[in-house]
Chains A and B, each alone.
Chain A
């Protein structure tokens, strides 16, 4: 598309509108988080009085602070879930991409069906089961349901990647003296690394953002993640809403995701478009 054409102008306007619609709420939250509690109701887009009090109060009191424990929980749970999901999904996806075996379509279809499942419908039964099994309010209690939704996502992303890798490479590795596992580890995985990053980031974001499971399957700071913890924030007195604190926490948890995506931006784009064009 050439600069200065009508088409170019129309696209630019369209993109600008979409960008504004998605970015203004984010900026709004960031701006709220910097407003002093007294001025929070002003309604101006930019704070008249800049303050970091909202952030400070989030971490006041170390591990007993409103945000520190949940933040650690969120990071640990999301990392563990992501790692397990990527390892399991890469084996599964590889088998699906490479081998003909009975039930292959069933596995793919099943994975897709589970990914489409509304999480809310599983929360009730899980709550009951987890309490009986002693998984309620534990890391595992969150990691397991995250995996059920993250795995299909990762499998689908990775299958697309593995299909891109020429089968010959693996055969070459085998003739060169590699066991199937060595061929997978030394040839296939390095080549599928962009796909694995993409899948990992998508899974991480999914776990990081989850609210439904986090609010229902936890009851204390032992395993409560940030999105759930936000709901338990209290104001200075019972008559003040903790708007500033929530805004500050929301801004904080968005930052790692933004950094993640910026760092791996090129890989994600490469990952999402893999298979579109013959390399």
Chain B
């Protein structure tokens, strides 16, 4: 067990492409850190550099205080779980899990008890003598985990370990991974492009974008106080709604109408005035008829409902807002990554609201919607930075 420190780590490939740019990240002993970002953001490259499968172009990587830049993977004492599990097909489950121990020259009589222990933890005991080809996806995934935990390494590195499982199993294994990590309290770096996994698993989440670390924080911090438009748009599902806004003294002009800023909001914004981008989470909206206390915190407006999606426990209500399209590189990139840019009609400004299932809102009808304006965040349209992010 050990801490992992990335100190100004960069990766430049031979063709000049810079996959990771000057990355600083401190992972404490026993901590569960998630690297998350859209595909091609450099998160996997960062993980592979920690594993030693990729050379570090610049900067320093320390595991447990030792600079390991020049160490071969085998000398770093880390275990990795691969996206496709990378089980050795010619070995049984038992041999697969014993492989790292054998290479580590663990005495023979110690190997079997260790493998059996790991198999017990992962509920693989009855499969020990089977070959990977005869296992289900979930079982293979557990064998891959078993191979990692069996030798009690300094750190676990996981590269999208759940992405090959079907949705239901993925949720199940997610809790399994979380429980395992808590029980073993081994430092873990986990790469995923799935923000739900990131939010539910990590002690801290590191959001990356085109090789640059955007923000490292607890899931709650990331959700409530994203540093910029990209983080705000990436974290949360359905995503945050963005709309043009204009700050004028103590009021802000939103497409829904003018809203008075709270003192706290105004203070955070400093003396900023003029055009900004406002962001509201879907749950900041509510059916006006259902808002009881705290109504004065928000703004009520009328909207024509395009679509109602019922999830049972909540309603997703889509309605258009009358405003110009937002011009922002961050938002374009997010849309491109999720594929939303290719969906027809995506250039219409649409807002998704998460309402209480008791709401009587109907598709095609005009509804009265309430927005909790105290939770609205403001971003600089040019830099994408959240206004007031520095002094929090």
Which residues of B lie under 8 Å from residue A182 when comparing CB positions? 103
**Complex contact A187–B88 (CB within 8 A):** yes
Q: In whole angstroms, how far apart are the Cα atoms of A177 and B53 in the complex?
A: 12
Tally the A-B contacts, defined by beta carbons under 8 Å.
56
Quick check: B79 and A176 within 8 Å, CB to CB?
yes
Residue B74 is within 8 A (CB to CB) of chain A in the complex: yes
Set of chain B residues within 8 Å of A173, measured between Cβ atoms: 88, 99
Contact across chains for B53 and A174 when beta carbons are under 8 A apart: yes
- A64 contacts B by Cβ under 8 Å: no
Report whether A172 and B82 are in contact in the complex, using a CB–CB cutoff of 8 Å: yes
Inter-chain CA distance A169–B151, complex, in Å, is: 18
Q: Is A171 an interface residue (CB 8 A)?
A: yes
Within the complex, the shortest CB–CB distance from A145 to chain B, in Å, comes to 36
CA distance A172 to B147 in the complex (A): 10
A124 close to B (CB within 8 Å): no
Distance in angstroms between the alpha carbons of A169 and B147 in the assembled complex = 13
Q: With a CB–CB cut-off of 8 A, which chain B residues contact A191?
A: 88-90
Binary contact track B114-152/A, C-beta < 8 Å → 1, others 0: 000000000000000000000000000000000100010
B88, A175: Cβ atoms closer than 8 Å: no
**Min CB–CB distance A71 → chain B (angstroms):** 36
A42: which B residues are within 8 A, CB to CB?
A: none
| A68 on the B face (CB < 8 A) | no
A171 to B83, CA, bound (A): 12
B104 proximity list for chain A (CB < 8 A): 177
Bound form: Cα–Cα A219–B6 in Å? 70
A190 interface hit (Cβ, 8 Å): yes
Q: Which residue of B lies closest to A189 (CB)?
A: B90
B118 to chain A, nearest CB (A): 14
Question: For the complex, is B340 an interface residue (Cβ under 8 Å from A)?
Answer: no
* Bound-complex Cα distance A182 to B88 (A): 14
Q: Contact mask A148-172 → B, CB, 8 Å, 1/0?
A: 0000000000000000001011011
With A176-B147, A177-B74, A191-B89 in contact, is A171–B53 under 8 Å at CB? Answer: yes
Q: Contact check, B103 vs A175: say whether CB atoms are below 8 A apart.
A: no
Q: Write the chain A residue with the least CB distance to B48.
A: A171
Distance in angstroms between the alpha carbons of A151 and B262 in the assembled complex:
80
Q: Are A178 and B74 in contact (CB under 8 A)?
A: yes
Instruction: Kindly provide the distance from the CB of B163 to the nearest chain A CB, expressed in whole angstroms.
Output: 14
Known: A177-B100, A182-B103. A166 touches B86 (CB 8 A): yes
Chain A nearest CB from B186 CB (Å) reads 15
Q: Are B84 and A166 in contact (CB under 8 A)?
A: yes
A65 within 8 A of B: no
With an 8 A cutoff between CB atoms, is A273 at the interface? no
User: Is A179 at the interface (CB under 8 A from chain B)?
Assistant: yes
Q: Which of B38-70 contact A (CB under 8 A)?
A: 51-53
Q: Which residues does chain B contribute within 8 Å of A190, judged by CB atoms?
A: 90
* Complex: A178 Cα to B104 Cα, angstroms: 8
Chain A residues near B78: list those with CB within 8 A. 175
Query: Do B86 and A174 touch across chains, with their CB atoms under 8 A apart?
Result: no
Contacts of A186 in B (CB 8 A): 99
Smallest CB–CB gap between A268 and chain B, Å?
19
Chain B hits for A166, CB < 8 A? 84, 86
Distance (Å) between the CB of A50 and the closest chain B CB?
49
B86 and A168 contact, CB distance less than 8 A = yes
A175–B90 touching, CB < 8 Å: no
- Give the complex CA separation of A182 and B103 in angstroms: 9
Minimal beta-carbon separation of B151 from chain A (angstroms): 8
Within 8 A of A (CB), among B77-112: 78-80, 82, 84, 86, 88-90, 99-100, 103-104
- CB B254 to nearest CB in A, in angstroms, measures 50
Indicate whether B73 reaches chain A with its CB closer than 8 angstroms. yes
Decide: B53 and A175 in contact? CB cutoff 8 A. yes
Assess whether B52 is in contact with A175, with CB atoms less than 8 Å apart: yes
Q: A177–B147 Cα gap in the complex (Å)?
A: 12
The residue of chain B having its C-beta at the shortest distance from the C-beta of A187 within the complex is: B88
B178 contacts chain A at the CB level, 8 A cutoff:
no
Q: Which residues of B contact A179 (CB under 8 A)?
A: 72, 74
Selected from B80, B84, B89, the residue in CB contact (under 8 A) with A175 is B80
Known pairs A175-B53, A178-B74; A169 contacts B103 (CB<8 A): no
B86: contacting residue among A172, A177, A178, CB under 8 A? A172
A166 to B132, CA, bound (A): 15
**Interface set, chain A 75-93, CB cutoff 8 A to B:** none
Q: Which residue of B lies closest to A168 (CB)?
A: B86
Partner of A171, one of B86, B90, B100: B86
Within the complex, the shortest CB–CB distance from B316 to chain A, in Å, comes to 38
Chain A residues whose C-beta falls within 8 Å of the C-beta of B74 in the assembled complex: 174-179
Query: Chain A residues with Cβ under 8 A from B86's Cβ?
Result: 166, 168-169, 171-172
- B-chain residues with CB within 8 Å of residue A178 when the two chains form the complex: 74, 103
User: In the complex, A171→B48 CA distance in Å?
Assistant: 10
Q: Which B residues are in CB contact (< 8 Å) with A169?
A: 86, 88
Q: What does the 1/0 interface line of B18-55 toward A look like (CB < 8 Å)?
A: 00000000000000000000000000000000011100
Query: Please, how many angstroms separate the alpha-carbon atoms of A182 and B100 in the complex?
Result: 12
Q: How far is the CA of A166 from the CA of B151 in the complex (A)?
A: 24
- How many Å from the CB of A34 to the closest CB on chain B? 45
Contact (A174, B73) CB under 8 Å given A168-B82, A182-B103? yes
Distance between Cα atoms of A166 and B86 in the complex (Å)? 8
B172 to chain A, nearest CB (A): 24
Nearest Cβ distance between residue B285 and chain A, in whole angstroms?
Answer: 45
Name which residue of chain A comes closest to B133, CB basis.
A279
B residues at A contact (CB < 8 Å): 51-53, 72-74, 78-80, 82, 84, 86, 88-90, 99-100, 103-104, 147, 151, 157
Beyond the given pairs A177-B103, A178-B103, 6 more chain A to chain B contacts, judged by CB atoms under 8 angstroms and listed by A's residue number, are: A168-B82, A168-B86, A169-B88, A171-B86, A175-B52, A176-B99
Can you report 5 residue pairs joining A to B where beta carbons are below 8 Å apart?
Answer: A171-B82, A176-B103, A177-B103, A182-B103, A190-B90
Please report A residues at the B interface, Cβ cutoff 8 Å. Answer: 166, 168-169, 171-179, 182, 186-187, 190-191
The 5 closest A-B pairs by CB, nearest first: A172-B86, A177-B103, A176-B100, A168-B86, A174-B73
